[in-house]
Amino acid sequence: MLLRKVQKRINMFYLLSLFGISLLFYYNLFAKMNLSSLIDYNSFLSFLLTPLFLLCISFIYSNTYDKKIKYLVLFVYIVILVLIFSNKIYMYFFNDYLSFQRASMFGILPNTGSILYDALTSIQIIFLFICIITNIVLFFKSRFKLKHYRKIMISTFGIYFIMVLVSGLANYEIVSYSITSFFSGSSTNIYEKKYDVYDSLKNKEIVTNEYTGVAKDKNLIIIQCESLQSIFLNRTYNDKEILPNLNSLINEDSLYFKNYFTQVGWGNTSDAEFITLNSFYPVIMESVYSRFPKNYYRGVTKLLRENGYYTSAFHGYLKEFWNREIMYKAIGFDKFYSSDYYSNGKTIGWGVCDVDFLDTTASYLKELPVPFGAFIITLTSHVPFDTTPDMSDIELLSKHENTLFGRYIQNINYLDSAIGGFIEKLKVNGLYENSIIAIYGDHQGLNISVPENVDYMTEYLGKPYLYDDMLGIPFIIHMPGLIESKTIDTTCGQIDFLPTILNIMGINNDTIYFGEDILNIAEDSDRGIGGTAFMPLGSFINKDFIFLTSVDSILENSKIYLRSSGKEVKSNLTDRLYNISKELMEKIKLSNSVTEKNLIKPILDNNIIALNNVIPQFLVCNFNYDTDHYDYSERLKSVIKDGYNLLSTKVYYRNEIFYISNALNVENEMTLIDFLKEVSKQKDVYVILTGTADFTLDLFRILGRENPDLATIVIPELYKLEDYQNIRVFNMNTPILCVDELTKTNEEIVNFISANELFAISISKRNFNSNLVKRIVTLNKFIYVKDVNDEGELIFYTNIGISGFYTDSLTYKKGLSSIKK
Ligand code: GP9
Ligand code: MN
């Protein structure tokens, strides 16, 4: 009797500790969100532990007479089952792990018969039933004797043992692969939660500061000054102040941002407007104004409007220029006063001269409903800086006559006097006191790429003329009667305008933006400011340095100049500078992807879940069109049904046309564009283009520039590091780097791979044993081995940490990790 009791205690202790261990194991899987492996027959441990877990639960049932505990155990059990199986089903349909946030997606699963049957293998379904039935039986059979209990234990073990044996014998390779993949960490761990990147853009916390709301309900007058560089503030030429009005403005009721930089790309003036009003980076080529006028935007203009402001834009040039007429509607201006509204003004250079333009604008402002937001763009000081004899009282030294430098000085002096006159007029017409005026330059006037400019500027400044001198633009927020003047040293740029001004205006920044409120950044912060043109992509200016990235994207080849002396300093190449450059590139990329895919609204409306996301896959289908006559659209359907969503195809270039066939059989020739059109009819299927080393640029041009919609489903393979920059220039997706024939040193390649964003790395079997591969494997990047067609090879590569394969014959069978021939 006593003995039985003791034995029972020991048994109980033993089983409870097993229960604890199983729970830990389950918990571990939960933490990794790797729930599905619990019911995959590829996870050896789950075979062992799942029955133990079940047994422990049944033991608690059979030894508990307390109903509450029983219900609690049942509840935990059901939650675990539901989670495991929901995740498994989700994985099948979306190739990603289920998260709570995405659980709502269940409602919109494609209805292809029984969801359970589609997503689960028969063994998994049997397992599900065993789980349910054991539970029901054990739950209701409350007075189980120990001997009954032992029977259940033995038979459950038995069932599992047989299952392991059967599936193991049927495919021992898969089981051994599973065991190794279990211990080496599952290849699916590198799946990222891409959605979160977009999610992180919204609901930024507003940090208040001493300027928050100081200009609440005031009119906001923004003056964007053509080609105005800050280097000329507080400077004289031939004993005359060049910018006397702006100089004195800085000293009364103004915040003056001394280290403010232009960030424009190819869209010059229009980019300056776009960045300033939206706090987004410009795109890499052309201007957002011409490429994306139909997008949804939500920047300063719309936020002002929502707060009861009347918004209008003023510019003395043709309304069609830079697509402004259309773009201003998208941005949300109530009215655009283009050159049509300035027909009486005198013309200098491009159009109506600044003095007349600003004078007339001040009269228009007086007629506007208040409060108003006015966006004013000046024009006269545009290259080639035409002058008239009376425009400036600065007399040029004879050596500067008829030079860009000389005429520029006279032009900005003229602009300064026009602004002075404008402010006077506001004082007279009574708007001044109730307005705040934000003034900044759109971009540089004296380009560093013109040697003559560099010579004159270097002589004038008495030091080398560098990027920070060229890209520095003034930014003044003049707030009559509201603040004491202050000069702010923080390194900042046009991207920061929106959050800074909104905070001052006391307007909620309920939108997506990429800048920061300058007044909340420590003045000695080392953040870097850069744009998409005028310095190589990824270059930046920060408080101490000018960092210029190298075209080969190898960080060691970047150039760094000390801002204080203008000297190049190699020794300062530090990780911190690399990281600033990387962070900047990331931001530009993200901003661009929001613009290119028109995502502002979906992100704000939480609809981002419906977006396409490309992620590396375990298997890539070699979809080479080999001129055998098969019906490619049938084949497309069948490989997609097999579970692929990445297809690789070789590309051929003949007579300026890309083909995916090699013209052996002209009848069946198929152009790349036709093929991509066909693929794009499928949801979430992407094409990897291979063999393009000799014509990368042409390919990018034809896809990125001429067929941008099709380019979104293309993942280019790169064969030269130098082509990497062009990915961004031509707006292509993140590439796969093929390391087969790179001519760089291993050191350089490894540095490149760790520093740059890549979709994956690919390598052919013949190159696999190189030292390079061994080093790449440790970088934790997704690696594809090409042309792996048999499972033995697959297991071999998987065991040494390779995550993906291009293949002709291996296919997915229901889910990611079960592979069968
Ligand atoms: C013309 C003007 C010119 O309307 O804004 O822009 P830019 O050439 O400097 O880009
Ligand atoms: Mn301009």
List, for residues 543-555, the tens digit of each pLDDT value: 999 999 887 777 7
Rounded to whole angstroms, the Cα distance separating 637 from 630 reads: 12
Q: What is the pLDDT of residues 734-755, one digit of tens each?
A: 899 999 988 888 888 988 888 7
Q: Which atom of ligand 1 lies closest to the CA of 350? A: 1
Q: Report pLDDT for 677.
A: 94
- How many Cβ atoms from other residues are within 10 Å of residue 285's Cβ? 17
610 has pLDDT over 90: no
Q: Which residues contact 373 (CB under 8 A, 6 or more apart)?
A: 219, 220, 222, 300, 301, 304, 305, 309, 310, 311, 312
- Cis omega before residue 371 (within 30°)? yes
Q: Whose CA is nearest to atom 6 of ligand 1?
A: 269
Handedness of CA 33, 35, 36, 42 (dihedral sign): positive
Handedness of CA 486, 488, 493, 496 (dihedral sign): negative
Pocket test for ligand 1, best of 382, 447, 473 (most atoms within 8 A of CB): 382
Per-residue burial over 430-468, b if 16 or more Cβ lie within 10 Å, else e, is ebbeebbbbbbbbbbbbebeeeebbebbeebeeeebbbb
Q: What is the pLDDT of residues 311-337, one digit of tens each?
A: 999 999 999 999 999 999 999 999 999
Calculate how far, in angstroms, residue 219's C-alpha sits from the geometric centre of ligand 2: 25
378 has pLDDT over 70: yes
Single out the residue of 285, 462, 480, 498 nearest to residue 373, CA to CA.
Answer: 498
Calculate how far, in angstroms, residue 226's C-alpha sits from the geometric centre of ligand 2: 5
269 lines ligand 1 (CB under 6 A): yes
Calculate how far, in angstroms, residue 585's C-alpha sits from the geometric centre of ligand 1: 26
368-377, 474-483, 582-591, 798-807: lowest mean pLDDT where? 798-807
Q: Report pLDDT for 814.
A: 33
Handedness of CA 284, 290, 295, 301 (dihedral sign): positive
SS3 38: helix
Beta strands in 608-705 (DSSP E): 619-622, 646-650, 652-654, 657-659, 686-690
Q: Which atom of ligand 1 lies closest to the CA of 227? A: 9
Q: Whose CA is nearest to atom 5 of ligand 1?
A: 269
762 has pLDDT over 90: yes
Residue bearing the bigger pLDDT, 215 or 633: 215
Q: Percent of the chain, pLDDT > 70?
A: 73
628 has pLDDT over 90: no
Which ligand lies nearest to the CA atom of residue 267 in the structure? 1
Calculate how far, in angstroms, residue 316's C-alpha sits from the geometric centre of ligand 1: 11
602 has pLDDT over 90: no
652-654 and 646-650 beta bridge pairing: unpaired
Calculate how far, in angstroms, residue 651's C-alpha sits from the geometric centre of ligand 2: 41
Q: Report pLDDT for 170.
A: 40
Spatial contact of 560 and 548, defined as CB atoms under 8 Å apart: yes
Handedness of CA 563, 569, 571, 577 (dihedral sign): positive
Residue bearing the bigger pLDDT, 258 or 46: 258
In which band, very low, low, confident or very high, does the pLDDT at 596 lie, cut at 50, 70 and 90?
Answer: confident
Calculate how far, in angstroms, residue 646's C-alpha sits from the geometric centre of ligand 1: 43
Q: Whose CA is nearest to atom 7 of ligand 1?
A: 269
Residue bearing the bigger pLDDT, 236 or 27: 236
Spatial contact of 669 and 661, defined as CB atoms under 8 Å apart: yes
SS3 284: coil
Q: What is the pLDDT of residues 74-120, one digit of tens each?
A: 776 677 667 666 666 655 554 344 544 344 444 444 334 455 555 55
Spatial contact of 214 and 477, defined as CB atoms under 8 Å apart: no
DSSP symbol at 733: P
Q: Report pLDDT for 222.
A: 98
Q: Which two tokens stand for residue 418?
A: 């026009």
380 lines ligand 1 (CB under 6 A): no
Q: Which two tokens stand for residue 234?
A: 């507080």
30 lines ligand 1 (CB under 6 A): no
Calculate how far, in angstroms, residue 547's C-alpha sits from the geometric centre of ligand 1: 28
Q: Report pLDDT for 176.
A: 44
Single out the residue of 563, 449, 558, 473 nearest to residue 264, CA to CA.
Answer: 473
- How many Cβ atoms from other residues are within 10 Å of residue 98's Cβ? 21
Pocket test for ligand 1, best of 223, 225, 226, 264 (most atoms within 8 A of CB): 226
Residue bearing the bigger pLDDT, 463 or 147: 463
Pocket test for ligand 1, best of 228, 269, 494 (most atoms within 8 A of CB): 269
Average pLDDT, the chain: 80
Q: Which atom of ligand 1 lies closest to the CA of 324? A: 4
Calculate how far, in angstroms, residue 269's C-alpha sits from the geometric centre of ligand 1: 5
178 has pLDDT over 50: no
Distance of alpha carbon 468 from the chain centroid: 27
What does the CA dihedral 574, 579, 582, 584 come to, rounded to 10 degrees?
-110
382 lines ligand 1 (CB under 6 A): yes
Rounded to whole angstroms, the Cα distance separating 601 from 199 reads: 12
Q: Whose CA is nearest to atom 3 of ligand 1?
A: 269
Q: Report pLDDT for 201.
A: 86
SS3 326: helix
Spatial contact of 308 and 371, defined as CB atoms under 8 Å apart: yes
Q: Which class for 754: exposed (0-12), middle (13-18), buried (19 or more C-beta within 10 A)?
A: middle
339 lines ligand 1 (CB under 6 A): no
In which band, very low, low, confident or very high, does the pLDDT at 303 lie, cut at 50, 70 and 90?
Answer: very high
> Of 1-10, 198-207, 390-399, 706-715, which has the strongest mean pLDDT?
390-399
324 lines ligand 1 (CB under 6 A): no
Instruction: For 742-759, give the DSSP string.
Output: --S-HHHHHHHHHHS--S
Spatial contact of 62 and 22, defined as CB atoms under 8 Å apart: no
H helix and E strand count, the chain: 28, 27
In which band, very low, low, confident or very high, does the pLDDT at 757 lie, cut at 50, 70 and 90?
Answer: confident
158 has pLDDT over 80: no
Calculate how far, in angstroms, residue 446's C-alpha sits from the geometric centre of ligand 1: 15
Q: Report pLDDT for 442.
A: 98
Single out the residue of 612, 545, 58 nearest to residue 259, CA to CA.
Answer: 545
In which band, very low, low, confident or very high, does the pLDDT at 345 lie, cut at 50, 70 and 90?
Answer: very high
Calculate how far, in angstroms, residue 268's C-alpha sits from the geometric centre of ligand 1: 7
Q: What is the pLDDT of residues 191-213, one digit of tens each?
A: 233 456 777 888 777 889 999 99
155-159, 506-510, 796-800: lowest mean pLDDT where? 155-159
Q: Report pLDDT for 157.
A: 58
> Stretch 578-600: mean pLDDT, rounded?
86
> Stretch 431-459: mean pLDDT, rounded?
95
Q: Report pLDDT for 718.
A: 95
Calculate how far, in angstroms, residue 387's C-alpha sits from the geometric centre of ligand 2: 17
Rounded to whole angstroms, the Cα distance separating 93 from 112 reads: 11
298 lines ligand 1 (CB under 6 A): no
Q: Which amino acid is at 463?
A: K
Single out the residue of 439, 432, 461 nearest to residue 245, CA to CA.
Answer: 439
321 lines ligand 1 (CB under 6 A): yes
- How many Cβ atoms from other residues are within 10 Å of residue 710's Cβ? 19
317 lines ligand 1 (CB under 6 A): yes
Which ligand lies nearest to the CA atom of residue 321 in the structure? 1
Helix (H) or strand (E) holding 61: helix 44-63
Helix (H) or strand (E) holding 675: helix 672-680
Q: Report pLDDT for 192.
A: 30
412 has pLDDT over 90: yes
Calculate how far, in angstroms, residue 227's C-alpha sits from the geometric centre of ligand 2: 6
Q: Which atom of ligand 1 lies closest to the CA of 226? A: 9
Calculate how far, in angstroms, residue 377's C-alpha sits from the geometric centre of ligand 1: 9
Q: Which residues contact 163 (CB under 8 A, 6 or more apart)?
A: 41, 47, 123, 127
In which band, very low, low, confident or very high, does the pLDDT at 440 lie, cut at 50, 70 and 90?
Answer: very high
Q: Report pLDDT for 43.
A: 41
Rounded to whole angstroms, the Cα distance separating 181 from 817 reads: 10
Q: Which two tokens stand for residue 226?
A: 């053509």
Q: Which atom of ligand 1 lies closest to the CA of 267? A: 10
Q: Report pLDDT for 558.
A: 87
* Residue ranges near ligand 2 (ion) with Cβ within 5 Å: 226, 268-269, 442
In which band, very low, low, confident or very high, does the pLDDT at 732 lie, cut at 50, 70 and 90?
Answer: confident
3 has pLDDT over 70: no
373 has pLDDT over 90: yes
Helix (H) or strand (E) holding 491: strand 486-493
Rounded to whole angstroms, the Cα distance separating 544 from 524 reads: 10
